[in-house]
Amino acid sequence: MTRGAEADWWNEAIASWFFNEAAAGQLVYLGVDDQELERVAIAAGRPTPNPREAFTAAMQEVSSLNDPFGYWWRRTKRWEQLPPPRPTPPFVCILALTALMADDATRSRWPGLYDPLAEALAASSVAVRAHYEDTVRRWWGALNHWLLDLDGQMGLPTAWAPTQGFRSVIGHAWSQVLVRRRDRTHFAEFFSTLGAPHGPDLALDFDRASEELFVRWRTWIRRGGSVSERLRHLVDDPAAASSEEGRLLGRILADELCHWDGTTSDPEHRPSLRLVVVANTFARRPLYFAAPVPAELAGKQVDFPLGAVLLGDEDDLTEVPLLVTSAALSSGVRLDCSGVSVTYAPRAVVPMARRGPDFWRSVEHLQPGEEAYALVARSELDGFGAMAPDATPSTAVMDVPQGWNLFKDAEVASEVVAGSAHLAGLVPRSSALPHLTGGLRLGSGRKYLAGGPPDVVVPEAEGITTEVVVDGQVVALVPAEGGRVRLATLGLLAGEHSVIAGCRRFNVTLEPFDWWQPPPKPAITRPVRGAAGQDAIVAGALVEGITRPPLVLVPVRPELFVLGKPGQCHRASPASAPWVRTAGLPLASFEPLDRHAYENGRPFPPYWVAWVGPTGPWKVMACGGEPELRPDDDRERLDAWARLVQSMIPAEVVGDDRERRWWASYSSFASSTAQPCRA
Amino acid sequence: MDQLLEWCSAREQGSRSSFRDAHAWCTGDERPGAANRALAILETLGHVEVDWAQGGDWAVNPPVLALLRGAGGNALAVGARSPALKERLERRGSLRAVGQRDGPEAWYVSVSTIEELGELALSAGLGAAMDVAGAYSELLPSLDDVVTAGRREVGPGGVEISRFDRLTLRFEPFPWPRGRWPDGAYEHRGAGPTTYALRLEDDGCSVVDRRTAVHFELRRLRRETGDGQFRAFDWSTEGDTLLCDRRTPLPLLQLRTAVLATGLLPQARTLDAHPRLGTRRVEAFVGVHILAYEAIARSLDPPCP
């Protein structure tokens, strides 16, 4: 075998294991340890009893005492001269070796890297120190660029080192081994408790995020979140936030949060069903488990021990055949059901928020204003009772598991919960990250009425003072206890404003409101009826081509009544019902009309309108069904009615020519178009 | 409230929850009923319309200058508002804004003639109307019309019911009847919105709004007892004032008829040995013309003085 063949084999095997199409779009860590090496060897078709020994032997073969990295340096030179897209870099195996050494150092709490690396390469420690920065350190950067040049198709880069300090040279290797797959699973759980959006909506200010996320992660751990033993010391160390390791972990958290897709999966990347406890207080049936359906499991069948269940559409809450027992609540659920990971994370106090009139489900934490039930373990009753004085025992469901109690009105005030891990979920909050709230919002997005910008809410963050920066100016420093900054007091002018609060960045648009524009007049295509009632005049017409629905309103002028847009007018209010009667319109015409289509922004079908009033110009009464149609012989009556209406618009009162024109067009239409007929 | 009305105008329409959020932000008052009360006030003043029966979606009304009867040429601005509109009206005429404790400012514009009103409205992009209260009063539906329109074959369900009590003039808990329901007004509470139903002499049922139910029941009690004991409102020549028991507010259209006489919300008063209303807390609507009062009285059918 030629010299270097073994090293090249390991290089290819490791690169294929970590950087492949399955990793496309995901953060990839070259986290090499003994177990990973074993998997690499097996995946590459050469299982070996001692993969570490084989790997280091292959590395030693191409290394030399005074030129430890020369072999890779020469091959890298040739590789760099290749045109992109370049093949697998030749230095992956030596980077993997440094990661392996960093992993050893992490386990032994020994901070050095050079000596173990020199020993692994059978090289001089002095030579390793002398050449490391120009070779290995540079190659970590080259690996990052290679992955980016491939548009993340083989994974996204994660290697990073601080710009100064002890790990500024060797930090890349640590960045690859500090957290492991299970840690990242825990991170996803942590992210899901933040209540923050994912994807581009997150708007994370990456440079500011590290420390804040580290502190919030640590708080989450202290309140019962999961953490591996590898990272436990960072939770216990009060100075960890400012340590190199703490900053590195914060950086990884920020990176992971930026790329988080909003889901949680188990460490083996199996699809996961995360159970919630559900209460139906109307049916008063016992508590049951259900699972929000993730996209990858929508419509799939999953076999549970008590029977199979067909999951619903994405995000549906599907009931699963598992009993809510005392043991399940106390110890959690962890099942493998036909390749699907089914889990329920135990909590001593389970907040349950209303999701329907009589339908409550367990949540990570309550939102502001939410009503709450709480399922409380007997061991927590004293603490719960003290913190939630308004809570009252509930018998709204049957057969609450032994050792557990159900309470309603279980919200607790935020100020009393500090330090109480189990009750944290009962503290209403929108997000555990800084966020915007309130303000006079105009529609969707971050558009607000000028003068009504939102408030910035900064949740508590242990030991961190959070800057709130508006348009580049620091406007507030929020202490660690958290707080709210009212932007309305800043006198912001209309226009776009940049708001940075801690780790998050928002663009807020303040829009001046100049004038109210009336909705466009509908086009009348077919008048169908005219009639003079006792006190009112009524006409109906088929209206098509509505570009904007009429508003839900009864106009100021009392002679005119608008009953609403299709789907919202299906119940004539008591105030308007007499007018329906006066108009001679059948009440049945106020049945729902494709409300669903309207609410989903789809074009809704033509609908009937009727105008009511002795003197007034336009206002629309929208009806869901067809009012009684008159045959052709009503034409004369209709024309007469239209003339009457037009003549009754008092010129001395109504100065709006558009309305007069509109009525004129109506009149001319009524007297000149084809015969009205049934649709 | 002025900022809230401006927001409603800019937003044009929205849900009750969006209004609740905006109200909480503007006022800092997050009590559950506070936003509903504010929305009801804006509705009473004619600025917005609310679809209470279907969950409380609201929409702002088109802006209108409404000439007030007997107000010396003062026209009331009702409906959507903006700061630009205020500037425009100030430039064009003499705008006078009167603050109210629980509501937005009442904007009055002085005009000398009806032609001037039309011109002003046209130039400011407003609609124009005359004697809104008078127009409303001509069109008030009678209690019978409303109740007839609300007739149902099957009454509402619910978990808890209350019946309008003749002593307290409030809905008090009532056991679910077995057999025939006693005549009266009932409140049904359940999972959805609270509904109000009238149980009628002919065993029929009509689902109406709370205020209509109350006044229909008051009318029934008046007829049953044969005197004006259950009279809820009256009119006083002193300031042309309509006095209405606070516990039994007027239905929306009657309320608007009274409020839009001046554009001002009613004031709370305590009557002491009033000849017809006795001693009680009332709301006083000033400036209600006798004809408007008669129309309200006709529609709700109290005994005439």
Interface test with A, best of B139, B151, B252 (most A CBs within 10 A): B139
**Rounded-to-10 torsion of CA A374, A379, A382, A383:** -70
CA-CA distances (angstroms) from residue B178 to A58, B174, B175, B301? 91, 12, 9, 32
Is pLDDT at A581 greater than 60 in this prediction? no
Kindly state the average pLDDT of the residues A183-211.
Answer: 75
pLDDT in tens, A339-376: 888 888 788 888 888 877 678 888 877 776 677 888 88
**Cβ atoms of A252 and A159 closer than 8 Å:** no
Confidence of residue A266 (pLDDT cuts 50, 70, 90): low
Residue A416: closest CA among A393, A390, A392, A436: A390
Tokens of B246: 């606070």
Please report residues of A whose CB lies closer than 8 A to that of B198.
Answer: none
Q: What angle do CA A415, A417, A420 make, to 5 degrees?
A: 155
Is pLDDT at A617 greater than 90 in this prediction? no
Query: Residue A26 half-sphere exposure, CB side, CA atoms within 13 Å?
Result: 13
How big is the A-B interface in CB pairs under 8 Å? 169
| Residue scoring higher pLDDT (B215 or A195) | B215
Least confident of A51-60, A271-280, A654-663: A654-663
- A586 inside 8 A of chain B by CB: no
- Quick check: B150 and A357 CB within 8 A? no
- Quick check: B25 and A438 CB within 8 A? yes
Instruction: Name the residue type at position A489.
Output: T
Q: Residue B304 has what pLDDT? A: 52
- Quick check: B61 and A535 CB within 8 A? no
Instruction: Name the residue type at position B192.
Output: G
Q: Residue A679 has what pLDDT? A: 21
Residue B231 CA to residue B218 CA, distance in Å, equals 7
What is the bridge-based pairing of β-strands A495-501 and A483-486? Answer: unpaired
**Cβ atoms of A625 and A570 closer than 8 Å:** no
- A370 inside 8 A of chain B by CB: no
- Quick check: B135 and A559 CB within 8 A? yes
The ipTM is 0.83
What are the backbone dihedrals phi and psi of residue A272, each rounded to the nearest 5 degrees, phi first?
-130, 135
What is the bridge-based pairing of β-strands A272-274 and A340-344? Answer: parallel
Instruction: Name the residue type at position A637.
Output: R
Which of A143-157, A249-263, A541-555, B147-161 is modeled with the greatest confidence?
A: A143-157
**Rounded-to-10 torsion of CA B3, B5, B11, B14:** 120
Instruction: Name the residue type at position A145.
Output: H
Residue A401 CA to residue B151 CA, distance in Å, equals 47
CA-CA distances (angstroms) from residue A581 to A534, A574, B145? 11, 11, 9
Q: What b/e readout covers A304-330, taking b as 16+ CB neighbours within 10 angstroms?
A: beeeebebbeeeeebebebebeeebbe
According to DSSP, the residues that pair with B64 across neighbouring strands are B78, B127
Q: Quick one: which H or E segment has residue A613?
A: none
The secondary structure of A193-225, three-state, reads: HHCCCCHHHHCECHHHHHHHHHHHHHHHHHCCC
B274/chain A closest Cα distance in angstroms: 31
Least confident of A4-8, A396-400, A666-670, B29-33: A666-670
**Cβ atoms of A528 and A630 closer than 8 Å:** yes
Kindly state the average pLDDT of the residues A449-463.
Answer: 84
According to DSSP, the residues that pair with A190 across neighbouring strands are none
pLDDT in tens, A293-313: 877 788 888 888 888 888 887
Specify the 3-state DSSP secondary structure of A377.
strand
**Rounded-to-10 torsion of CA A107, A109, A114, A119:** -50
| Residue scoring higher pLDDT (A270 or A121) | A121
**Cβ atoms of B260 and B137 closer than 8 Å:** no
What are the backbone dihedrals phi and psi of residue B164, each rounded to the nearest 5 degrees, phi first?
-65, 125
CA-CA distances (angstroms) from residue A512 to A449, A450, A551, A594? 6, 5, 22, 34
- Quick check: B3 and A440 CB within 8 A? yes
- A557 inside 8 A of chain B by CB: yes
Please report residues of B whose CB lies closer than 8 A to that of A552.
Answer: 13, 49, 51, 57-59
Q: Residue A421 has what pLDDT? A: 60
Confidence of residue A582 (pLDDT cuts 50, 70, 90): very low
Please report residues of B whose CB lies closer than 8 A to that of A581.
Answer: 145, 148-149
What strands, in cross-sheet order, belong to the sheet with B151-152? Answer: B151-152, B205-208, B195-199, B184-189, B160-164, B171-173
Specify the 3-state DSSP secondary structure of A189.
helix
Confidence of residue A315 (pLDDT cuts 50, 70, 90): confident
Please report residues of B whose CB lies closer than 8 A to that of A443.
Answer: 11
Distance, CA of A547 to chain centre: 32
Residue B248: closest CA among B175, B303, B300: B300
- Quick check: A514 and B3 CB within 8 A? no
The conformational region for residue A41 under phi > 0 = left, psi -120 to 50 = alpha, else beta, is alpha
Going by C-beta distance under 8 Å and a sequence separation of 6 or more, which residues neighbour residue A604? A546, A549, A566, A567, A593, A594, A597, A598
Q: What angle do CA A150, A153, A159 make, to 5 degrees?
A: 75
Instruction: Name the residue type at position B235.
Output: W
Interface test with B, best of A485, A509, A556, A570 (most B CBs within 10 A): A556
Please provide the size of chain A in residues.
Answer: 679
Q: What angle do CA A467, A469, A473 make, to 5 degrees?
A: 120
Residue A180 CA to residue A36 CA, distance in Å, equals 11
Which chain A residue has its CA at the smallest distance from B130's CA?
A: A653
**Cβ atoms of A116 and A53 closer than 8 Å:** no
Kindly state the average pLDDT of the residues A649-667.
Answer: 35
Confidence of residue A199 (pLDDT cuts 50, 70, 90): low
Any alpha helices (H) in A152-299, and if so which ranges?
171-177, 181-194, 206-222, 229-236, 244-258
Residue B120 CA to residue A550 CA, distance in Å, equals 26
pLDDT tens for chain B, 305 residues long, are 899 999 998 887 788 888 988 998 998 887 768 899 999 999 888 888 776 766 777 777 777 888 888 777 888 888 888 888 888 888 877 788 889 888 999 999 988 888 888 888 877 777 777 777 877 777 677 788 778 767 777 778 767 789 999 888 899 988 877 778 888 999 988 766 788 999 988 888 888 888 889 999 998 888 888 766 788 888 888 888 899 988 889 988 888 889 988 888 999 989 888 888 888 899 999 888 888 888 888 888 765 54
Beta strands in A281-428 (DSSP E): 288-292, 301-304, 307-310, 317-323, 333-337, 340-344, 349-356, 359-362, 372-377, 392-393, 404-408
**Cβ atoms of B199 and B181 closer than 8 Å:** yes
Using CB atoms, pick whichever of B10, B25, B125 lies closest to residue A439.
Answer: B25
Least confident of A123-127, A164-168, A546-550, B178-182: A546-550
Q: What angle do CA B42, B46, B48 make, to 5 degrees?
A: 60
Q: Residue B63 has what pLDDT? A: 79
Specify the 3-state DSSP secondary structure of B167.
coil
Q: What angle do CA A440, A444, A447 make, to 5 degrees?
A: 50
Q: Residue B104 has what pLDDT? A: 93
